[in-house]
Amino acid sequence: MATLVYDCIAGIAKTIIDNRDFLTDLDREIGDADHGVNMARGFQAVLEKVPQDVPDIGAVLKKTGMTLLSTVGGASGPLYGTAYMEAGKVSMGKETLTPEDLRDMLDAAVKGVEKRGKAVQGEKTMLDALIPALEAYTAKLEAGASLLEMLDAACAAARDGVEYTKTIRATKGRASYLGDRSIGHQDPGATSALLTLEAIRDYCREA
Ligand code: ADP
Ligand code: MG
């Protein structure tokens, strides 16, 4: 993974922007119909503000997180902002990443979201995609799998996590106002987290 981190971020931005209406429609069911709009606005700003030629992965992720924090809004802005900034802290100064580095970054991002959102797994949030992805990635890493196997496992686990959000009641965020009526709907934030992981996987496959 010696290529510029900007290209990976641009891949994430593209998938989020391409899925703006899908994410917004999911949020219409159990929220206020703005998740896709919020995220697409944030990643449009990221594409414009984040420097394309900086090789320091941590610096680029920090700038990405700060930009998301100031442009996305809603609950997800501070949460995704924190996720990128925390991943940036543990990769500051690095120009290439090992699979272990990537695990540490995902772990830092998850811990940041947990702390900022005061949420745990099973509350119908982005954590229901991110935590299983981290666990699946780590299991493959420890089993000596290839990077793509680790990322495929992470994406599969995140996809299962998104499916799982359909079966549970929201206890955090706007969707929690619906109580049991939130059951049967897929969580928008878990879905954008899945899209993010798939974009990272696709970037690494092509890099
Ligand atoms: P808002 O709910 O303020 O309109 P968004 O629609 O952009 O913000 O984002 C909603 C998503 O944010 C939810 O689908 C959920 O995944 C995530 N979310 C909300 N609250 C929390 C929290 N406390 N912890 C983790 N994720 C959360
Ligand atoms: Mg919303």
Please state the domain count of the chain. 1
pLDDT tens sequence across 33-89? 999 999 999 999 999 999 999 999 999 999 999 999 999 999 999 999 999 999 999
Ligand number nearest CA of 170 is: 1
Return the closest-CA partner of residue 151 out of 111, 72, 206.
206
Q: In which domain, by residue range, is 31 found?
A: 5-206
At 127, which CATH number?
A: 1.25.40.340
Ligand 1, atom 21, residue with closest C-alpha: 173
Res 3: pLDDT:
55
**Nearest-atom index, ligand 1, CA of 187:** 14
Return the closest-CA partner of residue 5 out of 76, 81, 84, 107.
84
pLDDT tens sequence across 109-148? 999 999 999 999 999 999 999 999 999 999 999 999 999 9
pLDDT tens sequence across 167-176? 999 999 999 9
Ligand number nearest CA of 174 is: 1
SS3 per residue for 124-179: CCCHHHHHHHHHHHHHHHHCCCCHHHHHHHHHHHHHHHHHHHCCCCCCCCHHHHHH
Mean pLDDT of 16-34: 98
Which residue has tokens 């619906």? 178
Per-chain residues with Cβ under 5 A from ion ligand 2: 27, 31-32, 34-35
